[in-house]
Amino acid sequence: MHVLFVTSEVAGLFKIGGLADVSDALPKALSELGVTVTVALPFYASIDIKGCTGVGELSVDYAGDRETVELFTYPIADRASVLLFRHHRLLDYHKAPIEETFAFFSKAVATFFMENAVAGNNPIDIVHCNDWHTAVVPTLIGESNKTLHGSGTVQSGGVKTVITIHNLMYQGVVDVCVIDHLGAPRGIFHIVKKGTKERVSLLRSGLECADVITTVSPAYAKEITLQKHRDSLGDVFARRKDKVVGILNGIDTRSWDPSRDASLAQTYNASAVFEGKTMMKRVLRQATGLPGGPVPVFGFVGRIEPRQKGIDLVMKAIGQFHPDGKYQIVILGTGEKHTETELANMVKQFPLSVAFVNGFNETLARKIYAGSDMFLVPSKFEPCGLTQMIAMRYGTVPVVRKTGGLADTVDDDKTGFVFTSYSPRSLVDAMKRAIHAWETPNVWKVIVHRGMEADFSWKRSAGLYVDLYKSLLG
């Protein structure tokens, strides 16, 4: 079986968040199960790799021009390789408008797929797209297939398509002219008129056309098909709810391993977890300017995105439950500017207890996972969330809100502390319960070990993807 896995980020090459971890680890896990995976990724200018090989060129029709895209391949596992698409439109992920960048990338991927199909070598059985960035690929393939095969069905030509939702908040809403740039007929898109403007959601197009819609935890699959996140996509989910499948993400247990993490001054395994973490707590405090003392440290690593990640709750919780003498908190993240400023002010108010590092820093993130006692993930919604699983693997006890993948991965009082209501009071209560447990070493030991022993490897979930692919192919 050959899967074309289409993504905007791959850990080790280019990372914004959890999608990068998934796009690296899942193809490797699939490869171990005997599946051949080609991971399609833009060749951003910041990608610095040696050992990639040029494998040809593509002619891509976009916005009335015929553009040449160069292709390079880079192996990541026995049966998995990254296929990099080099073109001046694809050099910078952040370049505005980002939607045009990924519309072009999607067209390039669809073109690659069709040329590959025509050439007949190493045929692709499944096209697996991720989030709005690449969601229009199934529609484009369906259209090209119609032309090739003269059939009226969108999914003619044998290939099956999968769209995975990693985050429904971002939908890739574009001006209708982008459809013209793609060379697709406007009639197959859901066009929304607002005043004189006509807009289209690239994600919606994928949700309508893909053979199956997956999302990254069973709980989030339920949430999006029941009442939550319905908004402008509500009718699609209502119509296609039997096509929505939740498969929990895993983590790459080789990369996230406290016993051989090169970023840690002191590595440790479960049998030496408290010695290792004591040392790493000291290192973390030194790195973030916090003083020592007999109080627990809470960590937070994530996008500073108050609409999702609950960072507003964290600040309100600190305001209600002052940390001095009770606990410390280290926050690493980047994102919404106003919230970043508020966090910086909070540090001025509690300089001995609160540290905020504004940026994306993988090494520091690893020190936080290792050096904290507890880890906060108080998200408003969380499709899966990887940080709570990574934290548990590092012996750090998560305090999470009961939503999406957080609800699926953390057991209250057993592997972490779970609260329900999205309110500072509920978060404070959970933090106090965690602190109380931390002060009771026998209780704490059991919680830490249970978390470290939990199996969050990709093996099981990759097997579920293989089953899904097989069921699609009949």
DSSP symbols for 239-267: HHGGGEEE------TTTS-TTS-TT-SS-
Rounded Cα–Cα distance for residues 39 and 9 (Å)? 10
- Of the pair 12, 157, the CB lying nearest ligand ADP is at 12
Rounded Cα–Cα distance for residues 300 and 286 (Å)? 17
Rounded Cα–Cα distance for residues 284 and 290 (Å)? 8
- Of the pair 156, 334, the CB lying nearest ligand ADP is at 334
Least distance CB 15 / ligand ADP (angstroms): 7
Calculate helix-pair angle for 273-288, 362-371, nearest 10 degrees: 130
- Of the pair 339, 387, the CB lying nearest ligand ADP is at 387
Place of tokens 């056309």: 209
Nearest residue to ligand ADP, scored by beta-carbon proximity = 18
What are 331's strand-pairing partners?
300, 356
**Nearby residues of 71 by Cβ (< 8 Å), 6 or more positions away:** 54, 55, 56, 57, 58, 83, 84, 85, 86, 112
Least distance CB 167 / ligand ADP (angstroms): 6
Rounded Cα–Cα distance for residues 274 and 174 (Å)? 51
- Of the pair 301, 329, the CB lying nearest ligand ADP is at 301
Q: Could you list the residues that contact ligand ADP (CB under 6 A)? A: 17-19, 21, 167, 301-303, 332-334, 360-362, 365, 384-387
Least distance CB 172 / ligand ADP (angstroms): 16
- Of the pair 220, 237, the CB lying nearest ligand ADP is at 220
Rounded Cα–Cα distance for residues 424 and 121 (Å)? 57
Rounded Cα–Cα distance for residues 113 and 172 (Å)? 22
- Of the pair 332, 447, the CB lying nearest ligand ADP is at 332
Q: How many CA atoms lie within 13 A of 434 on its CB side?
A: 30
Least distance CB 55 / ligand ADP (angstroms): 30
Least distance CB 150 / ligand ADP (angstroms): 41
Least distance CB 224 / ligand ADP (angstroms): 15
- What does the chain come to in residues? 474
Least distance CB 391 / ligand ADP (angstroms): 9
- Of the pair 246, 302, the CB lying nearest ligand ADP is at 302
